[in-house]
Amino acid sequence: MRRGGSRLLPALATTLVLTACAGAPPPPDWQVNAKGSLERATEAYLSGNGRREALEFARARAELARTGRTDLLARSELLRCATRVASLEMGACSAYEALAADAVPPEQAYARYLSGQVEPADVALLPKAQQGLAANPAAPDAALAAISDPLSRLVAAGVLLRCGAATPGVVAQAVDTASAQGWRRPLLAWLKVQQQLAQAAAEVDEVARLQRRIDLVLGAKP
């Protein structure tokens, strides 16, 4: 998977870390298998392959379930919800909510962030990539541009749109980010938002140009 999935939730990345210290025993199979499946599931979803995403996520969930740790399952579901926000699928994160009681404070804060209900006390608990935007929502374009990780940037853009704070500059950054990564699903979603802005501004040529881009992406296989 392209860099980004594990950075969304540092606690999950730490738990599933595969780089052992010198002389340390290798990580157990469940960690290796769960991390690989989560990465493949994230990439498949963003690329538009829902069937593969479901299969890989089911494998990851099965590996995590072997530990009996509901907090790990909660984190994996939260990562899955984040990919939905990045792709502008703003439904309830019901699978995470069913496990939320066992989530630790950083994940609970991140869940509120994804829902657009972040609280001041949550900022310090968020991943570093998200802290700047959460602390300075009045300058969304600059805060978004400061996020170097592509998936984190798309998630942040999705949160801004959910809160009604996405400027045309935010939308343009999201389009460019998804395009650069070849992430078909969020690219289509953000192109359509950009097209709606052009329609509202009566920019006929721009609407047609964006439609050509949308048609090209629709014709590409996930």
Instruction: Check residue 104 and report its DSSP letter.
Output: -
How far apart, in whole angstroms, are the C-alpha atoms of residue 121 and residue 160? 19
- Taking residues 13-33, report their average pLDDT: 63
Q: If pLDDT is split at 50, 70 and 90, which confidence band does 7 have?
A: very low
**The whole model's pTM is what?**
0.87
Q: If pLDDT is split at 50, 70 and 90, which confidence band does 24 have?
A: low
How far apart, in whole angstroms, are the C-alpha atoms of residue 18 and residue 35? 8
Share of the chain above pLDDT 70, in %: 89
How far apart, in whole angstroms, are the C-alpha atoms of residue 73 and residue 65? 7
How far apart, in whole angstroms, are the C-alpha atoms of residue 180 and residue 177? 5
Q: What's the burial of 161, exposed, middle or buried (CB within 10 Å: 0-12/13-18/19+)?
A: buried
What tens digit of pLDDT does each residue of 87-105 get?
Answer: 999 988 999 999 999 888 9
What tens digit of pLDDT does each residue of 46-94 get?
Answer: 999 999 999 999 999 999 999 999 999 999 999 999 999 999 999 889 9
Q: If pLDDT is split at 50, 70 and 90, which confidence band does 23 have?
A: low
pLDDT of residue 64: 94
pLDDT of residue 37: 94
Mean per-residue pLDDT of the chain: 87
Q: Enumerate the domain spans of the chain.
A: 5-218
Number of H helices, E strands in the chain: 13, 0
For residue 5, pLDDT over 90 is answered with: no
How far apart, in whole angstroms, are the C-alpha atoms of residue 62 and residue 187? 30
- Taking residues 99-118, report their average pLDDT: 91
How far apart, in whole angstroms, are the C-alpha atoms of residue 27 and residue 151? 26
For residue 42, pLDDT over 50 is answered with: yes
- Taking residues 98-117, report their average pLDDT: 91
Instruction: Check residue 144 and report its DSSP letter.
Output: H
Contact 34, 60 (CB under 8 A): yes
- DSSP string spanning 14-74? HHT---PPTTPPPPPHHHHHHHHHHHHHHHHHHHT-HHHHHHHHHHHHHHHHTTT-HHHHH
